Structure 1
């Protein structure tokens, strides 16, 4: 039952488009079917089919790997493959290459404060945002920073699992340890990679990001 995970209407639409005999299942295993008909099927029919084939396995299809390379070669570099975004998904890889472990300034955090000022444009006589607006902006900023740090902690746990450490991490204690380490780094100003040329680290890291992306190993690829 190679197509059992596909809804019946999706299977029917795919088979009709390819002018194949109607069936409750695909005539080939998902990977073989995708490889055979990738160039023919429109994206609307490829999307549900692609979900049956893991990203890593899809990287063995030359056309898909080629498309990923074309995407990765765009200038400017796609945000997904920039160091400032990538280090949030691969924090351990970033640090192992010598990258700073201090939290990276986030454009999304800045956007939270800017949104508050633009949406709640209550200003005092001197033109400065009123105190309650500042407090709201600061509160949303803290929430966004914590959300990002939580994402980084989860990414670290995922990387450890990929390393096949063989150790089960208790999520509660691990979260608390990560939070304490993050707080200590920020308060003390100490960071892994503080004495390393960060531009060289960035170059090496972005090269690894590209390789991970093309090989279908990036956790953002679905």
Structure 2
């Protein structure tokens, strides 16, 4: 997996000032921004040409400013599943999030979805970038909450109790068992019991990390 520094990155952001600011942050952290573009077509072209370690992209881009960036990210993963993708947006675009998560290969490149106005520190952004490049899944807690509010009570998640859903939502935020126990004011042993029950109830991929597989099942709904 790529190291924390020295990642080759293709960046897509249509706001010129923000794009240049991100380039500066990434390069000062030791990364190589091989392309910084303002539209989805250029994003796909440079991803194909440069084969970066990770793509960082906004969602709303020209020409319609709807979901071009996210659709481009899904297309890149379909063609090059070894490229990690970190979505950095002001919006939760539910329609293609499941497609992006479904593109995650076992033991392969990771995916992330962060909201711009909730990234409080540069270090937080860089840490998330490194985790995704290393094969992890990083999803902003607000994205998780919005997806949960929009989700119907059906499918495999219907088998979970309300407490198990709470535990799984916190798992989706990247929390450890200890952190979940603190949040819910229960013992860590109780959290481990709930996690075990979640694993037993969900149809998980036996070849993958069960915790990651459970989180992906949750986010896909």
TM-score for both structures, normalised by structure 2: 0.29
Structure number with the bigger relative contact order (C-alpha 8 A, sep ≥ 6) is: 1
Which protein is richer in helix relative to its size? 1
Q: Which has the higher strand share?
A: 2
